[in-house]
């Protein structure tokens, strides 16, 4: 059976700190890859599919003089690996589909991705 790619946005590998806002406290993770439509990251916490989340990440600007930009976005968990919570595990891989990204955050994210694709 052939797999059809459903992604419409270009995805890049990225090593960015990710903070998932929520109760009881914010969870810190590390991005593995990102696009303007979603992110795949490692988290110390299990997140069930269809969970709504708010993320914050700091994206480097292509112009080093500008530093980093905080990007905040809302999303929904579409996949988690492994699929079940396991107390023996300390790391889960989580895929988030963005449901809302402000225009300014989207521009910062797009600028970062385009600069990486340009090499």
Spell out the per-residue pLDDT of the chain, length 119, in tens. 554 555 568 889 999 999 998 765 678 899 999 999 999 999 998 999 999 999 999 998 877 788 888 999 999 999 999 999 999 999 999 999 999 999 999 999 999 999 888 87
Tell me what pLDDT residue 118 has. Answer: 85
Tell me what pLDDT residue 26 has. Answer: 78
Tell me what pLDDT residue 61 has. Answer: 80
Nearest Cα neighbor of 76 from 94, 53, 100 is 53
* Distance (Å, whole) CA 57 – CA 55: 7
Nearest Cα neighbor of 77 from 58, 38, 49 is 49
Nearest Cα neighbor of 80 from 91, 68, 67 is 91
**What homologous superfamily is domain 12-118 in, according to CATH?**
predicted glycosyltransferase like domains (2.40.10.220)
Q: What are phi and psi of 74, to 5 degrees?
A: -100, 150
């Amino acid at each position: 059976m052939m797999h059809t790619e459903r992604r419409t946005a270009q995805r890049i590998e990225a090593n960015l700190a990710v903070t998932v806002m929520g109760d009881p406290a914010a969870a810190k993770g590390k991005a593995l890859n990102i696009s303007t439509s979603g992110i795949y990251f490692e988290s110390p916490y299990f997140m069930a599919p269809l969970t709504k989340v708010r993320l914050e990440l700091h994206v480097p600007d292509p112009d080093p003089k500008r530093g980093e930009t905080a990007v905040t976005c809302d999303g929904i968990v579409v996949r988690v690996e492994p699929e079940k919570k396991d107390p023996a595990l300390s790391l889960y891989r989580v895929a988030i589909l963005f449901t809302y990204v402000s225009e300014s955050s989207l521009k910062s994210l797009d600028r970062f991705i385009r600069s990486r694709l340009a090499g």
